[in-house]
Amino acid sequence: MKICIFGAGAIGGTIGARLALAGHEVSLVARGAHLAAIRANGLTLLQGAERHVVTVKASDHPAHLGPQDAVIIALKSHTLAAAVDGIAPLLKDDTAIVTAINGVPWWFFNGWGGVHQGTALQSCDADGRIARAIAPSRVVGGVVFMAANVPEPGVVRWNSGSRFVLGEPVHQASARVDALAAALVGAGIEAVASDNIRREIWLKLLGNVCFNPVSVLTGVTTDLMLDDRHLSSLFAGMMREAIAVANALGLDVTIKPDERMAQTRKLGPIKSSMLQDIEAGRPIELDAIVGSVVEIAERLGIATPFINTVFGAVRVRAAALGLYPKP
């Protein structure tokens, strides 16, 4: 397949490198020093003791890459609106756009039906720019359970996890999802198709809504946070609130907080993407990961005091650092 990774950072770069190693025609949208290093030396993937270098097309101008069979969006959610118009040159009539982003995506209520049909979330797409740029028919939902980082420009390091869940927002099987899953499996990624991608999004969100923002406050990895009984109690409370929101939407999330925390513990000492951004002085994707849950809960009239408190504390701290708009 001809696949463009739109946002070739840690996760996108890892996926792109594996697809290229499997023989697919991969191109990358990247920028700055990372792009310069990829152009000069190729993209390096580190996996344990293994080191792979792949030569791929890379540009900060998507028009230079041409139409694709699929585009995998792996940008941070808060950067997508400013970049989304650049996707157009990558599209042909049947190009699928896979959303491998954290938090609640802008399309979450598209095709939902009933009272929530078409609900636009300010926290995910404040002015509707993303929704106008990407036709709903192109969207394939994606949820990535993978930890990676960029130790230096042009290099991505895979740390743990390899699961990639794909699904149509209309909750039906499709040939394009099967083809994408097969391509990813052939690249050594544990890709599976889901008939309820929104539920899968929420299952990942249960971890992100806790570990990402609290890591900004603590400055430590997930294992150290989970080792503290007071923080574990906080996470359990936040997860119960998020589960209540999910079930009010009819997503039937039945996992227990202890079970969800155990899943994260198995991944080892993970530094959250939000903590990585804070340490690097980059703006954080707080709205799609935490603000979206707060917004949906308020619309449904569900109390989320634990999540609200963490959201307020993190946005005040991030705003003081110049990494989030002042509340």
Do β-strands 43-47 and 155-167 pair in parallel, antiparallel, or remain unpaired? Answer: parallel
Burial class (CB in 10 A: 0-12, 13-18, 19+), 320: exposed
Choice among 2, 204, 266, 271 that is catalytic: 204
Q: Do 104 and 124 touch, CB atoms closer than 8 A?
A: yes
Handedness of CA 139, 200, 142, 104 (dihedral sign): positive
Task: Determine the Cα–Cα distance for residues 10 and 263; give it in Å rounded to an integer.
Answer: 21
Instruction: Using DSSP, state whether 28 is helix, strand or coil.
Output: strand
Residue 11: both structure tokens together: 């996760």
Task: Determine the Cα–Cα distance for residues 201 and 105; give it in Å rounded to an integer.
Answer: 9
Q: In terms of residues, how long is the chain? A: 327
Q: How far is CA 176 from CA 1, 18, 140, 215, 219, in A?
A: 11, 19, 9, 37, 41
Task: Determine the Cα–Cα distance for residues 36 and 267; give it in Å rounded to an integer.
Answer: 32
Q: Do 192 and 163 touch, CB atoms closer than 8 A?
A: yes
Give 193's strand partners: 166
| Known active-site residue 57 | no
Q: Do 197 and 165 touch, CB atoms closer than 8 A?
A: yes
Of 53, 133, 101, whose CA–CA distance to 197 is shortest? 101
Q: Which residues participate in catalysis according to the annotation?
A: 204
